[in-house]
A = this chain, B = another copy of it.
Amino acid sequence: MKRITFLLVAVATLAGGVALTAPASRPAAQEAAPIFVTKIPPGYRDWRLISVAREEGSLDDIRAILGNDKAIKAYREGQLPFPDGAIIARIAWSYDSSEENNKVFGRPQSFVAGAPKNGVQFMVKDAKKYAATGGWGFAQFDDGKPADVTVLSACFACHANIKERDLVFTRYAH
């Protein structure tokens, strides 16, 4: 009995291992393994605003969530799941107290976007290509370089918690 239990645990660990490593290391499992986005979607800084947010804790940033035309259209029309080609971008900056603004307000109250922080992240919808990760390709770029695959695997693991909104946490800010 002890031996069977051990085997089950081993299999579960192996399955977890597939989801957490690059597909190249296991060609046979390529279709089921996650594929990540390796190029920054061009022009994303010009996209329209979906919403803004502030994360405390270790992230400690203030952020904007932007969408390309397909994403914005889907948001505004309440289209779920998002259509192929929709891309959502998350830009974040350090959460800086603004001495300049506070001086004018006469009290410490103003926090503004400082230097870029926590990379730029993307979710790219392609139901077939990214079938292994809920139809979304995840990406993070730190100083223009794609983040390590272990970082990206954490994206899907977390976004999978919001299946009822097609893995997208951010709501449109009206």
Contact = CB atoms under 8 A, between A and B. Distances in A.
Interface of A: 45-49, 51-57, 59, 62-64, 66, 91, 93, 95, 98, 100-101, 104-105, 107-113, 116, 158, 161-162, 169-171, 173-174
List 3 A-B pairs, minimum CB-CB distance, nearest first: A57-B109, A113-B173, A56-B109
Contacts of A116: 174
10 contacts: A45-B48, A53-B62, A54-B62, A55-B110, A56-B108, A59-B109, A64-B64, A104-B158, A104-B161, A116-B174
A66 B51 contact: no
Contacts of A53: 62, 98, 110-113
As for how many copies of this chain the complex holds, the number is: 2
A51 B105 contact: no
A47 to B, nearest CB: 8
A111 B54 contact: yes
Contacts of A108: 56
B55 A109 contact: yes
A8 to B, nearest CB: 27
Contact of A171 (B56, B66, B110, B112): B112
Contacts of A101: 169
A161 B98 CA distance: 14
Contact of A104 (B110, B113, B162): B162
A63 B55 contact: no
Contact of A57 (B54, B56, B91, B107): B107
